[in-house]
Amino acid sequence: MKIGVFDSGLGGLTVVQAVTEVIKGAELFYIADTKNAPYGEKTTEQILQYSLDITQYLINKHQIDALIVACNTATSAAIKYLREQYPSLIIIGTEPGIKPAIEQTRTGKVGVLATPATLKGDKYQDLVNALSLQKDVTLFEQACPGLVEQIENGEAHTVKTKEMLESWLHPMRENGVDTIVLGCNDFPVI
């Protein structure tokens, strides 16, 4: 099986690592769209166009059987249209892990870190609406502009990155958040 995988940069490699542990013998083709990164601060229309272009390229060049959108931001903006456009292609997306967070929280307060575009997207809102019927929790949503660039530029562990994180996480700690969702696949790096 030929599987295409894409992300705006290197974050999707965290997904590739997980895929190679469970799927043996598949041929993987990875695209890091560093020319257009970061996606998280682009418009829905731009992210949609990048996603369509990459998918078409993977089909033309590598005849992929399946596509993994290894990016929360592109999944939020484009997966619905990709599935409409390519009905015979298996398409798998990436969504913030709110479900396990809701199951695990003891304080009922969950922080969600993601890119601005992911949090603005309808797909994210649909996920939150569906899951909030399961349990009464308070979500502290935090868009993290600039964080993906820090990570992709190899500056994940600098003072500037720590200060950015502190400014977002301090209010969560103050409010009793006990579970944090890493809603962008670059964030496991930090």
Nearer to ligand DGL by C-beta: 172 or 184? Answer: 184
Binding flag, residue 112, ligand DGL (CB under 6 A) = no
Single out the residue of 85, 10, 14 nearest to residue 55, CA to CA.
85
Nearer to ligand DGL by C-beta: 108 or 116? Answer: 116
Cβ atoms < 10 Å from Cβ of 1: 11
What whole-number distance in Å separates Cα of residue 164 and Cα of residue 63? Answer: 42
What whole-number distance in Å separates Cα of residue 133 and Cα of residue 76? Answer: 21
What whole-number distance in Å separates Cα of residue 151 and Cα of residue 154? Answer: 5
Binding flag, residue 7, ligand DGL (CB under 6 A) = yes
Binding flag, residue 119, ligand DGL (CB under 6 A) = no
Binding flag, residue 150, ligand DGL (CB under 6 A) = no
Among 3, 5, 8, 48, binds ligand DGL (CB under 6 A): 8
Residue showing tokens 């060049």: 61
By CB under 6 A, which span of 1-9, 58-66, 156-164, 166-174 interacts with ligand DGL? Answer: 1-9
Binding flag, residue 185, ligand DGL (CB under 6 A) = yes
What whole-number distance in Å separates Cα of residue 134 and Cα of residue 103? Answer: 9
Tell me which of 3, 64, 70, 71 is the catalytic residue. Answer: 71
By CB under 6 A, which span of 22-30, 57-65, 67-75, 121-129 interacts with ligand DGL? Answer: 67-75
What whole-number distance in Å separates Cα of residue 147 and Cα of residue 162? Answer: 10
144 is catalytic: no
Nearer to ligand DGL by C-beta: 46 or 132? Answer: 46
What whole-number distance in Å separates Cα of residue 83 and Cα of residue 180? Answer: 30
CA–centroid distance for 92 within its chain: 12
Catalytic residues: 71, 184
Q: What are the residues binding ligand DGL (CB under 6 A)?
A: 7-9, 11, 37-40, 71-73, 115, 118, 148, 184-186
